[in-house]
Amino acid sequence: MRVLIADREPNVRQALWLVCEEGLHLTVAGEAADAPELLTLVRTTHPDMLLLDWGLTEAPPAELIRTIRGIKSLVIIVVGAGMEQRRETLAAGADAFIYKGDPPEKVLALLRTFIEPQDCPRPPR
């Protein structure tokens, strides 16, 4: 599974990269720091999943989600900070919402729900 990470904060991008690659053994197709870069990468890297920062753009995130849905069918998980953000993005068609303060274990558990078993090897018990 190929994941695209879009967040304006380099530290958040790095943390999500580690969760995806180290925690789930996914391929990170690229990372974007702004909406124009994100749209280019959606078209060129063919990701299966997008981790999208709520505040990536000045435009309402719902518009960005609709634009992305028009380009490619993929899982969109929004990363944000508030309950209202969660409601708004899910209503706009995002598949899930992660709070920026969630611990890595919670993020891993949520991401696993969107991954085919063969894409995510689990450690032996």
Query: Which positions ≥6 away from 14 have C-beta within 8 Å?
Result: none
pLDDT tens digits for range 44-80: 999 999 999 998 887 778 889 999 999 989 999 999 8
Count Cα atoms within 13 angstroms, Cβ side, for 114.
21
> Quick one: average pLDDT of 12-35?
93
pLDDT at 122 over 80: no
**DSSP, residue by residue, 91-113:** HTT-SEEEETT--HHHHHHHHHT
Determine if the pTM surpasses 0.85.
Answer: yes
The domains located in the chain, with CATH, are 2-115 (3.40.50.2300)
